[in-house]
């Protein structure tokens, strides 16, 4: 594309390393493709596109699109068409309009953030989180992919008004995890961030206070999400769908829990090479050696001297035969069963 981050390998690694779904599962492919598209679109909104181009892209109008925005639109259009076609074969229902609305709302939230940044508008932290939880786009990964699980997500849950609480919690946590590790860069770029928005609302607060406040929100929301995923009675979503929500949370924690590993070109390389490129090291099995000195075992030798001395042999004559036949007493065989 000539701008932004190249994170194709990161996106494929994230879904490959964090799920036990079959290797040929369409869920894996859909999440990876969506994540790549989200990354490119995010960089286009942040670095490349003018407000006019961003508005055109958001409205999905083909005419007058410059090359990068048209490439993004075509990629998104192809992804939506592919997903809807597969689901139509899978379930017999056309979800094209639901997917289009899902992505439109996401791009619209990014357009709002772009306007804030370029117009020097400083929203409240609540307004920021309301928009930012959508612009982080985690729902565009987890919801369409959940439609292909068994049992699957009801397709009406793709509509924003129908989002389950567990989906909204995942969206908020993902946004705040990202903000915790990107506020310095976004401050330099003049962008809005939850950490920075808190400081604007609280002029006397230090950066440490703002970070602690955001961290407190994250911890609270994580606890609520785990309750919804792991306990009964909180949601009607099928278990595989809830597990995918938890998987996406793990991915975001891997990238943003302690540092911004996603933006780094080297942080993830060792893990990726170990998981994908390096063969497993299989050594020969060796016996375990005990640190204690070996005990010498002696084989006891049985002595029958005394036993044989107590036995006196007697000559026994066989019963006489009568007409070539005789009766010879034979002791019966007795088999003792083990109880």
Q: What is the pLDDT of residues 184-225, one digit of tens each?
A: 888 888 888 999 999 999 999 999 999 999 999 999 999 999
Residue 323 lies in a domain: no
Specify the pLDDT at position 337. 47
More confident residue, 213 or 231: 213
Q: What is the pTM of this model?
A: 0.72
Specify the pLDDT at position 263. 80
DSSP 155: G
Q: Which residues contact 218 (CB under 8 A, 6 or more apart)?
A: 173, 176, 177, 180
Evaluate if residue 247 carries a pLDDT over 70. Answer: yes
> Which CA distances in Å does 142 have to 19, 55, 90, 146, 149?
13, 26, 18, 6, 11
Residue 317 lies in a domain: no
pLDDT category of residue 72 using cuts at 50, 70 and 90: confident
Q: What is the pLDDT of residues 12-64, one digit of tens each?
A: 777 777 776 666 578 878 888 888 887 877 777 766 667 766 776 666 534 43
Residue 188 lies in a domain: yes
Q: What is the CATH number of the domain that holds 119?
A: 1.10.600.10
- Total of domains in the chain: 1
Question: Could you tell me the residue range of the domain that residue 57 belongs to?
Answer: 8-277
Residue 82 lies in a domain: yes
pLDDT category of residue 1 using cuts at 50, 70 and 90: low
More confident residue, 48 or 101: 101
DSSP 159: S
Query: What's the whole-number mean pLDDT along residues 141-148?
Result: 93
Residue 292 lies in a domain: no
Residue 305 lies in a domain: no
Residue 328 lies in a domain: no
- Residues composing the chain: 339
Strand partners, 322: 325
Residue 283 lies in a domain: no
Specify the pLDDT at position 265. 81
> Which CA distances in Å does 22 have to 18, 25, 242?
12, 5, 18
pLDDT category of residue 155 using cuts at 50, 70 and 90: confident
What CA–CA distance (Å, rounded) separates 150 from 159? 20
Choose the weakest-confidence range: 100-109, 215-224, 275-284: 275-284
Which two structure tokens, joined as six digits, stand for 336? 């003792």
Q: What is the pLDDT of residues 156-194, one digit of tens each?
A: 888 877 889 999 999 999 999 999 999 988 888 888 899
What CA–CA distance (Å, rounded) separates 23 from 253? 23
Q: Is the dihedral of CA 178, 180, 181, 183 positive or negative?
A: positive
What CA–CA distance (Å, rounded) separates 218 from 222? 6
């Amino acid at each position: 594309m000539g701008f932004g981050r190249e994170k194709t390998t990161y996106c494929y690694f994230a879904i490959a390393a964090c799920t036990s779904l079959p290797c040929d599962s369409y869920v894996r492919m859909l999440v990876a493709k969506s994540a790549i598209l989200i990354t490119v679109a995010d960089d286009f909104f942040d670095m490349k596109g003018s407000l006019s181009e961003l508005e055109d892209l958001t409205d999905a109008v083909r005419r007058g699109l410059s090359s990068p925005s048209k490439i993004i639109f075509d990629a998104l259009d192809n992804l939506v068409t592919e997903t809807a076609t597969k689901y139509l074969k899978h379930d017999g229902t056309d979800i094209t309009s639901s997917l289009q609305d899902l992505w439109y709302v996401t791009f619209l939230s990014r357009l709002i953030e772009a306007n804030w940044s370029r117009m020097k508008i400083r929203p409240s932290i609540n307004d920021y989180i309301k928009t930012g939880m959508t612009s982080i786009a985690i729902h565009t990964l987890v919801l369409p992919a959940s439609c292909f699980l068994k049992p699957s997500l009801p397709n009406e849950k793709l509509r924003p008004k129908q989002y389950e609480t567990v989906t909204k919690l995942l969206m908020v946590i993902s946004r705040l995890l990202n903000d915790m590790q990107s506020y310095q860069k976004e401050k330099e770029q003049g962008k809005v961030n939850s950490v920075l928005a808190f400081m604007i609302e609280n002029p006397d607060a230090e950066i440490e206070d703002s970070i602690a406040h955001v961290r407190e929100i994250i911890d609270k929301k994580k606890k609520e999400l785990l309750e919804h995923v792991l306990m009964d009675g909180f949601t009607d979503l099928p278990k595989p769908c809830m597990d995918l929500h938890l998987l996406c949370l793990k991915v975001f924690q891997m990238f943003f829990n302690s540092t911004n590993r996603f933006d780094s070109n080297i942080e993830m390389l060792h893990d990726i090479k170990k998981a994908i490129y390096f063969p497993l090291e299989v050594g020969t099995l060796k016996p375990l050696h005990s640190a204690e000195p070996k005990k010498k075992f002696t084989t006891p030798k049985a002595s029958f001297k005394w036993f044989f001395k107590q036995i006196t042999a007697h000559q026994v004559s066989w019963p006489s035969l009568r007409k070539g036949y005789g009766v010879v007493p034979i002791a019966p065989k007795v088999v003792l069963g083990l109880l």
